[in-house]
Amino acid sequence: MTGDFRVSVLRLGHRRERDKRITSHLGLTARAFGADEVILAGEEDDSAIETWNSVSERFGGNLDCHFEPKPMNWLRRFAVSGTVIHLTMYGESWRKVTGEIPKDKPAVIVVGGTKVPAELFSIADHNVSIGNQPHSEVAALGVFMDSWLGPIEESSKFAGGQIEVVPSERGKRVVNLEEE
Ligand code: SAM
C-alpha cells in the first residue's frame, strides 16, 4: 500500500515483440515509484512478469503482477469504487490536476501501447497529460507517479530484499542484506 491506499498500474495493448523492453521498464518504473500492482494486458508475455518478480525478489517489496485477458471489464468493475487515472497526451495537465486526485481509496493508473479504446476516456475519472506532446508511457508514468505520490525511496515499500543500493556521490555501494 502506498500510504493507506493501493495503487495499480494497468498496461493496455502490450505487443510481445514490439513492446518487450518498454513494457518491462514500465513495470519497473511503476514498482520504483510506489505501485503495489502491475497488470499487463494485450498480448500475454510471461517474460515481463518474470522480470518484475525477479527485481522484487532482489530489491524487496511485495509487487503483485499478473496478466489480465479482459482489461476493459476489469476497469469497469474497478471504476465502481476506485479512481481511474488515464495518462494520455490529450488530457488535462498533470500540474493542474494531480492535487485534485484523491489518495484515500484504491487507484489505477492506465497507460496505452497500441491505440487505446475510446471508452477509456469516459471511464477514467481523470485523463491526465504530461505535456500535450506524444512521448513515452514510461516517462509519463514516472513523472506522474512522482508528482502524485511523492518520495518513495525512504518508505518501507522495499523491505525484504536481498540487496539494497546505498546512495553515494560516486561509485556503486550495494549492501547484501542476506549477510547482515
Ligand atoms: N499509439 C497510441 C495511441 O495513439 O493511442 C499511443 C502510443 S503512446 C507512445 C503510448 C502511451 O504513452 C499512451 O497511451 C499514453 O498512456 C502515454 N503517453 C504518451 N505521451 C503522453 C503524454 N504527453 N502525456 C501522458 N501520457 C502519454
Atom 4 (ligand 1) nearest CA: 115
Listed by start position, the domains of the chain span: 7-176
> Does the beta carbon of 23 sit less than 6 angstroms from any atom of ligand 1?
no
CA distances in angstroms from 61 to 25, 70, 104, 144, 157, listed in the order given:
17, 27, 21, 21, 6
**pLDDT band for position 3 (50/70/90)?**
low
Within 8 A by CB and 6+ apart from 118, the residues are none
Q: What is the pLDDT of residue 1?
A: 52
pLDDT in tens, 105-154: 999 999 999 899 999 999 999 999 999 999 999 999 999 999 999 998 77
User: Percent of the chain, pLDDT > 70?
Assistant: 97
Average pLDDT, stretch 36-46? 97
| 141 Cα nearest atom in ligand 1 | 26
pLDDT of residue 156: 83
87 lines ligand 1 (CB under 6 A): yes
Percent of the chain residues past pLDDT 90, beyond the cut: 92
Closest ligand 1 atom to residue 86 Cα is: 16
Residues 157, 34 contacting (CB under 8 angstroms)? yes
Mean model confidence pLDDT for the chain: 95
| Cα 135 to Cα 108: distance, rounded to the nearest angstrom | 20
Protein fold of 7-176: Alpha/beta knot (3.40.1280)
Task: Enter the DSSP assignment of 129.
Answer: E
CA of 87 to the centre of ligand 1 (A): 7
Q: How confident is the model at residue 4 (pLDDT cuts 50, 70, 90)?
A: confident
129 lines ligand 1 (CB under 6 A): yes
pTM assigned to the model = 0.95
> What was the pLDDT predicted at 153?
75
Identify which of 11, 21, 84, 87 to mutate to test ligand 1's pocket (most ligand atoms within 8 A of the CB). 87
